Amino acid sequence: MSYLDNLNERQKQAAEHQNGPLLIVAGAGAGKTKTIASRIVRLVQKGVRPENILAITFTNKAAKEMRDRVEKALRSEKSLNRPISLVGWPFVSTFHSLGVHILRENARSIGLNRHFGIFDRSDSKKSIRQAMEIVGVNPKQFEPGKILEIISREKGNNLLVDEYEAGIGNEYLPGIIAKIWRQYDKILAEEKALDFDDLLLRAVRLLKSQPAILEKYQSIWHYLLIDEYQDTNKIQYELAKFLAEKSKNICAVGDTDQCLLPGTKIKTPTGEKEIGRIKIGQKITGAAGDGEVCSSLVNKVIMKKYDGKILEIITKNGKKIKTTPEHILFARLTLTKNKFYVYLMYRRDKGFRIGLAKSVRQDSRGKKSIGLLVRCNQEKADKMWVLKICRTKREASKIWLTDGCFLNLRQKTFAGARRHKQNFQRD
């Protein structure tokens, strides 16, 4: 069976496109990953070397899924008629992993240690607090997390601290941020480390300042594929633009169905505005992955008719959010004690399972963590839904064993499942 047999006509059209730019507009569950994987196989079938293909996703999990699908497809496609195990593979990664790869390969040329460390958000927040204390700024007056958010946003706009400081004039708060940022950069240098935002910023600056290095990567990657393109920020766009500038063979997959309704309030660096007042050339604050936000420039405003359901979400503080079912909203669970979650879990090779998790548990390192995340990691689940939040385990157990019975879970049990859960599934 050909790898194209499982594609519909539109998907086949995208998979068979070879040279030149390609934009794929598709909603959630429309088979984007399958289409990209099929397109990679088709490129190889047409004579493109696998190592000349670069595919970028937004999460490590999505990158792994893409990598597994591509490798499986390349191994199983008989029409290739070549010892695929003896040749290179497409480079599949996240934007940040790509930045790490480029920087480690060229560390000496920009004065970096090849084995530089990488600060996660908690490391960065701790160092911001340390930088504030050094420059004499009270962390109680200015929240370190907010300061980090601003610095992250500006790095996402492709700015270094000197460039940021040159454009702020005599403004009070930006002046304080510049001082903290400069000291924060010193701490990173002393630790021989970069933060997440530096991974992209420094990679883009490297490619821009050293044409020979840019030429090297342009000669390696002739085809660039980007998933979830609607979530890219300026620095990610710049990185993609540099790499695809020579070949022009860039494929972007986006989802326009993640639309916002009239009257929706949009955050901007200068405050909230209704979506109807947002114009081309203005900056808005949007999701940047990993629960973070950044500023991006509006380069196009699109309006479309929508005929479908409208969902209304009411937050804890009473704020109402109206959206379409297709729109993805970022949320973060907190370490709330004395709660119990009834969840529905899905794993591709096992199927569905209903379970019960405490709100707070110890993870593999012995640290307190959100119970759902611990359970999700232990079971290596692909998806998880919260069905009910309960105050007591008894209340949650009743829902677990009664309300959950509408599911006919005749699937294999997960590793480590308790015996009574196995009995429930078989019943």
Average pLDDT, the chain: 80
Provide the pLDDT for residue 153. 84
- Sign for the pseudo-dihedral over CA of 203, 209, 213, 214: positive
Task: Tell me if 249 sits within 8 A of 20, measured CB to CB.
Answer: yes
pTM: predicted TM-score of the whole model, two decimal places: 0.63
Domains of the chain: 9-99+200-254 (3.40.50.300), 117-191 (1.10.10), 265-323 (no CATH), 340-426 (no CATH)
Provide the pLDDT for residue 78. 65
- Average pLDDT, stretch 190-199? 93
- Average pLDDT, stretch 387-400? 77
Over the stretch 198-210, which tens digit does the pLDDT of each residue have?
999 999 999 999 9
- Average pLDDT, stretch 335-361? 82
| Nearest Cα to Cα of residue 188 among 269, 259, 119, 112 | 119
Task: Tell me if 176 sits within 8 A of 138, measured CB to CB.
Answer: no
Task: Indicate whether 260 pLDDT > 60.
Answer: yes
3-state secondary structure 112-165: CCCCCEEECHHHHHHHHHHHHHHHCCCCCCCCHHHHHHHHHHHHHCCCCHHHHH
CA distance 409 to 411: 5
Give Cα 229 to chain centroid, integer Å: 11
pLDDT grade for 416, boundaries at 50, 70 and 90: very low
| Residue linked to tokens 């490391």 | 123
Over the stretch 36-93, which tens digit does the pLDDT of each residue have?
888 998 898 888 999 999 999 878 888 888 888 888 878 776 666 555 444 578 999 9
Task: Indicate whether 307 pLDDT > 90.
Answer: no
Over the stretch 207-254, which tens digit does the pLDDT of each residue have?
999 999 999 999 999 999 998 776 677 888 899 999 999 999 999 887
